[in-house]
Structure 1
Amino acid sequence: MSSRPTSRAEQRRNTESRILAAAQRLFAEVGYDRATVRAIATAAETDPGLVMRYFGSKDELFARAVGFEADELVTGTPEQAAEQLLTALEHKLAATPIDALAALRSMFGHPDAAADVRSAMVARQQQAAQHLATDDADLRAGLIGALTIGAVIGRYLLRLDGLADAEPERISALLRTAFHEIAHGTPAAES
């Protein structure tokens, strides 16, 4: 087993990764207020001063930990957008979305965290709305977002029967018609 010395840059990246992972876990487990910089540093096996040096503030660390910027942008036609949004939901349901849970748990107890989460979600909603049917596009994007959030909360926080153990593909299959009807609508039946 060889141990090669690591550069300062590698050490910094490793420490930053440990801090971010610890922050995500703690924000998801206990929320924004109870996840202190000291607790995050302890969980990351580092010094609280390094947390502040690498992330600037607890708010900036929270913004990185919830990771909304990591989501893929919605593109294409309303039909393609619906499928992209279903795929994103499947990914969130396939493995515990620590970043989303950190955001959700924290926003209920801390006004600044709630504002950060709302701001990020509104930006995502506005971006997705550009690729949905133009009539009520913001409402359409908001409804799909609400279905997604509801599915994540139901599966991971409430552990609802059926939803908690269902295969992600089964959930998206059941939601496919709803996502498509919301994203691009169905022609009105002639009377």
Structure 2
Amino acid sequence: MTTEQLYNELNYVNHSREKRLFYSKMVINNPALIPKLLDLLFMVDDKLSPRAAWVLEFMCTENTATIAPYLEPFTQGINKVHLDPAVRPVAKICQILAQHYYSKEDNLIKTTLTKTQQERIIETCFDYMINDEKVAAKAYSMVALFLFGKDFDWIHSELKIILDRDYPTQSAAFKARARIILKKMKKK
């Protein structure tokens, strides 16, 4: 399948779990599509960029190892993603990568995610925290940053400043996640 054919297929992806799952399994079963999907994701001003992000998110949820060979291009491009419907799934993928990296179980992400790639994820997550993003992107970013803070000492103090500053003006969902993260950081 060419990039153009995949682009046309993304027209059929919608918010339904069924469609996202169908296309994510198609990509999992044909890993040669992953670079093409990333190319479409990073066409950041295109209306189909978020649909590529949705499929990529479901792919990572179903089988995180499939993104391992593509962590370099993924982490190089995530800071360019700006459309709201694409930011949320990118933030979720960042959270998934952090969770797998710090998992007690052996997995491919632990051995392939480099410090440079982690730093790119951290930078993007901090951007999501300080920019005017929707609460879901901020919540996923909080979790990723909290986890990466285990190896990067400065993260927790910076994250705490942002959470304390934004807490009074944010939504109930933000406040709920922030309370959990702040409580976990206090235990450390």
Provide TM-score, normalisation by structure 1. Answer: 0.31
- Structure having the higher helix fraction is 2
Q: Which has the higher contact order (CA 8 A, sep 6+)?
A: 1
